[in-house]
Amino acid sequence: MSIFPRISLKPEVTEYLKSVFLNKEVLTAVGHQEAEHRFHKLLSCLSHPPSYTCVRASTHLAPLEEIRQQLAEELRKQLMCSSSAEEVSVQILPHPRIADVLILPVEGPRPVKQLGSEVVVGAQCGGAVLRGAHVFAPGILGSPKYMKAGDLVSVFSDLEGKCTRGATSFQGKKVFVGNGVAEMDRSTIFCTDEPARGIGIRMVEPLYRSPSFDGVLPSLAFLQNLPSVVVGHVLGPRPGERILDMCAAPGGKTCHIAALMGDQGEVVALDRIRNKIDRIRQNAQMLHLQSVKAHCFNSTLSVSSDPAQETEGPPFPPESFDRVLLDAPCSGLGQRPNMGSTWSLKEICSYQPLQRKLFHAAVRLLKKGGVLVYSTCTVTLAENEEQVAWALDTFPCLSLVPQEPHIGAEGMPGAGLPPEQLRLLQRFSPELSWEQTEITAPLPCRADSDTIGFFIAKFLKN
Ligand SMILES: C[S@@+](CC[C@H](N)C(=O)[O-])C[C@H]1O[C@@H](n2cnc3c(N)ncnc32)[C@H](O)[C@@H]1O
């Protein structure tokens, strides 16, 4: 069901996206009416959360069924605490094709009544609430003047980034995401020298209800979007190999790769932002993975000019790795739910050159016969199919190879790639099934299509 307005973007960004989704090749393939219909569905589904939560199970530590049962028990206890019912059941299903994935339905949108007291949060925080999170204090922009801990409030997400911090009321574009109880007074949130931390509003009646995984089986259950889990399987790491994850923080895919290798071999994780490296290490430690080696480094500079250099950390000699993952920094326009972005067209279009620099390093660091996987969580052609066309042109040693599993759609026409190459690409396109999702198809059927927007290409270096 569509309950929010479509994603709020700058007009120039909406026009740009429209030109992408209604490009000449798409119009020839599906016709103007269908292309326009898909584009409008895209804008609408981006502002809504997927209808299930995806958990990657640590099958390197325990069998899937055992993890499923433990998780059901933990979540059942959690629900018993927050519900008056004597018996509550939790539905957790194994993904029909991916051996380490569990899926849990999200309940919503639920009929929740708005209250008189309003708290306004940023769009990113509002999106997290729609995926089951409580409101953390730094996400709060405005609250009633005399809000006290214990007050019941309605939470709204600021769509256009116009609410000023500390506001006592806000008349701009906002969307209701549920009701909660304040855990702090207004003065603790806004009137202190130190920024407030921790839960500011505990959501008791969220518009979309999904279990909270905060502290639940941390070493066995890792929250991850389905396409991100697919990336690890598509890369296909084997025990004993040396793998490079070039843009790794917070390390979800790094840890998955290490788990798929049974923690045998080496997974080198690079990220340019120093404090994000700690997150990679914490995640690896939490999941009991020793083979992850994380370094703070700009991956565009990760190829050593000295081919004989032998160090544990970057830069590395050319042809050092069996497989390389380039999960590139991108415009992120596939993220769901995303009710509003204030980015300019310039910002949206700024990633292509950086992705190409990273790609150059990736190809040089890969051994001959090795596998390179390129992925993004965005929907533009410029960062996806156009990058593939450019890469095939620039590096004659690269060829596209089939992906396993391939549960998403194929690549989008528009970058001049022939149909046989588009078929080798995997594009998760939630807009293609957005109506189908509304017709309450059984969860395992909609799991593969009701995802974030995502793109995966797999290359072999010949
Ligand atoms: C899409 S996120 C990676 C998500 C990660 N692969 C995961 O699954 O958890 C992109 C990351 O690239 C990092 N990044 C951006 N430019 C970089 C560069 N030149 N070198 C290394 N990392 C970079 C960002 O800090 C960000 O953490």
Compute the C-alpha angle 157/143/139, nearest 5°: 50
* 83, two tokens: 């519900």
355 closest CA partner among 387, 395, 400: 387
Task: Say what the pLDDT of residue 439 is.
Answer: 54
- Residue 298 near ligand 1, beta carbon < 6 Å: yes
Tens digits of per-residue pLDDT, 400-434? 999 999 999 999 999 999 999 999 999 999 999 88
Res. 292 pLDDT band, cuts 50 70 90: very high
Annotated binding-site members for S-adenosyl-L-methionine: 247-253, 271, 327
Q: Closest by alpha carbon to 53, among 80, 81, 89, 92?
A: 92
Atom 10 in ligand 1: residue holding the nearest Cα? 329
The answer, yes or no, to whether any atom of ligand 1 lies below 6 A from the CB of 251, is yes
276 CA from centroid of ligand 1 (Å): 9
Domains of the chain: 52-105 (no CATH), 118-206 (2.30.130.10), 225-461 (3.40.50.150)
How far apart are the CA of 210 and the centre of ligand 1, in A? 28
Beta bridge partners of 121: 140, 157
* Ligand 1 atom at shortest distance from the alpha carbon of 224: 8
Q: How far does residue 178's CA lie from ligand 1's centre (Å)?
A: 32
User: Closest ligand 1 atom to the C-alpha of 298?
Assistant: 20
Which residues are annotated binding-site positions?
247-253, 271, 327
What digits encode the pLDDT tens for the residues 231-263? 999 999 999 999 999 999 999 999 999 999 999
Q: Is the CB of 23 under 6 A from ligand 1?
A: no
Give the whole-angstrom CA distance, residue 328 versus residue 374: 7
Question: Which atom of ligand 1 lies closest to the CA of 300?
Answer: 19
Instruction: Decide whether any atom of ligand 1 lies within 6 Å of the 161 Cβ.
Output: no
More confident residue, 305 or 36: 36
Residue in the block written with tokens 């929250």 = 223
Q: Whose CA is nearest to atom 11 of ligand 1?
A: 247
Q: Which of 222, 228, 231, 247 is the best mutation target for the ligand 1 pocket, counting ligand atoms within 8 Å of the beta carbon and taking the most?
A: 247
Instruction: Tell me, using a 6 A CB cutoff, whether residue 258 lines ligand 1.
Output: no
The whole-number pLDDT of residue 456 equals 99
**Cα separation of 42 and 451, whole Å?**
12
Kindly report, residue by residue over 448-457, the tens digit of the pLDDT: 999 999 999 9
Query: Which residue of the set 125, 377, 397, 445 is catalytic?
Result: 377
253 lines ligand 1 (CB under 6 A): yes
Residue 372: C-alpha distances to residues 57, 357, 366, 409, 461 (Å): 25, 15, 7, 20, 8
Query: Using one digit for the tens of pLDDT, what is the confidence trace for 310-355?
Result: 778 999 999 999 999 999 999 999 999 998 888 999 999 999 999 9
Residue with CA closest to ligand 1 atom 17: 272
Ligand 1 centroid to Cα of residue 260, in Å, is 21
User: Annotated catalytic, 296?
Assistant: no
Global pTM exceeds 0.75: yes
Min mean pLDDT across 70-84, 138-152, 311-325, 349-363 is at: 70-84
Residue 270 beta carbon below 6 angstroms from any ligand 1 atom = yes
Residue 188 to residue 414: CA distance in whole angstroms = 52
- Residue 450, ligand 1, Cβ within 6 A: no
Q: Mean pLDDT of all residues in the chain?
A: 94
